Amino acid sequence: MNRALPAGFGVGLVAGGTLRLAFGSNWFLVAAVVALYAGWGYFAVAYRRLLVSEFPAFDRSTDRLGYGIGLFGLSIGPVAISQQFTTGDVSLQFLVAYLGVVGFLLTSSRVAADLVDGR
């Protein structure tokens, strides 16, 4: 059984739940953060060598699902952050979302490069 997908969702839920509980973020931002961190967590768990070591094409369906979840977070993230900006309460929430974007993009592109190279 592929453990990376449930682990990725776990990472996403922890990040989103922490954001909601610690800052009272709106649910839209929480959904974006959950999706971003789930995608990031999936690739970090599925390909552990990424932790030590541009548009990807993934062959395995679970890879495509992990990538799709992360892309969903990328697509709704800017709107969610702009909604949070209008309330005037941004603080550390923006940083958490930004780290999710950077982490997801770095890990997914690295996996794609490794798959093309045959590693």
Residue 54 has what pLDDT?
Answer: 43
Considering its fold, how many domains does the chain have in total? 1
Model confidence pLDDT, tens digit, residues 22-62: 888 888 889 988 998 898 888 888 887 665 554 455 666 77
- Phi-psi bin for 56: left (phi > 0), alpha (psi -120 to 50), beta? beta
Residue type at position 31: A
Owning domain of residue 11 = 4-117
Please tell me whether residue 119 adopts helix, strand or coil conformation.
Answer: coil
Tell me the three state secondary structure of residue 84: helix
pTM: 0.56
pLDDT in tens, 62-104: 787 888 888 888 878 777 777 777 766 666 777 788 888 888 8
Burial of 13 (0-12, 13-18, 19+ CB in 10 A): middle
